[in-house]
Structure 1
């Protein structure tokens, strides 16, 4: 595909994503997209086979961005925890910088024709398994705790995927801050270190008290006439 044709294709997808994001897939027509671009409806058919083809292309482009980044990070020599951080940061950044694409990708999944939906489900499963593999690698190396990797994947991706619903790209939180906060939840959990330290301290004091009581009884028995 030559550069000019590629540029037009990208313009069509962006316009379609913006309109679908605003109106919903069912309420958006090819006429709307063509009018928005100043093109004829017939011209759109030179790039896509109908509205379903446009929706499938938006989903494919989005999934491709996720998958390519994951593959590149997974092949790097970085340690598992740093790989996971890079994946999360990229995922968050993609959601924030391609808001309309991601909104369509997540909210209009049920509108995909069956054959596209099946293909997309397979690609999503491969992505999930790729992230899961990073977590398994970290567990084997002793970097991560022994937890079910798939549950971590669901929790982590559930958090970052939901960003399109509430996060304002123009708001005070950027991709770096959001990714750091999510990673902090996953890597350290929600309880502050003090919450772990206090029970440990109480147990140590209780054990010390028992040992002191035992020592006192022993000394008393030896000093008795």
Structure 2
């Protein structure tokens, strides 16, 4: 009995490890080659496994894509709204919003590149999903910036332009930042937050 239970636990552990490895390999290939440029055969070859094994765990390449999406950037709008809700003053809301956004971008750097920076490498259906998340993120920033403008606490005439500029700044970091570089993530985040705030007239 005990041996049977132990065997089932080992099987479950192995299945979980295989799923994680498949997601890791697929994510790496999607980042380099894009969704449409990556085939199931590419993923199977990179992991030295069979195509049928991938279908067994995820059903399809789209199943892999959806799992990566669900485990990473799909959380972004909710997490950003939680960050805003944690403060009442809009200046503090924006500071926290930027900090949390950068932390999540750092945590899901590769996934963020796949879904935001390299969005043109996917088909129309998946691009539509990504654009929906981008709109939700934009709305979070717009709401905070509009409150700041209404209170006369920032130098800007068009909150939407300011929001696009801030998001462009954050997304550009996904292209160049490397964890093994000279600056730590915390140092990079501080510089970006300072630059974004000063750009709309909020002092450090």
Q: TM-score, normalised by structure 2?
A: 0.76
Match of 1:112 in 2: 122
SS at match of 2:143: helix
1:25–1:108 Cα contact (<8 Å) kept: no
Residue from 29, 38, 53 that aligns with 1:28: 38
Moved more, 59-68 or 84-93: 59-68
Give 1:66-145 correspondences, 5 Å limit. 66-145=76-155
Residue from 166, 177, 197 that aligns with 1:187: 197
1:13–1:58 Cα contact (<8 Å) kept: yes
For the aligned residue pairs, the C-alpha RMSD in angstroms reads 3.0
Pairs aligned (count)? 191
Moved more, 163-172 or 96-105: 96-105
How many angstroms does 1:7 deviate by?
A: 5.9
Distance in 2 between the 1:185 and 1:153 partners?
13
Q: Bigger radius of gyration, 1 or 2?
A: 1
Gaps of 5+ in 2: 1-11
CA separation of 1:180 and 1:25: change in aligned 2, threshold 3 A: same
Distance in 2 between the 1:144 and 1:33 partners?
49
Q: TM-score, normalised by structure 1?
A: 0.70
SS at match of 2:155: coil
CA separation of 1:20 and 1:117: change in aligned 2, threshold 3 A: closer
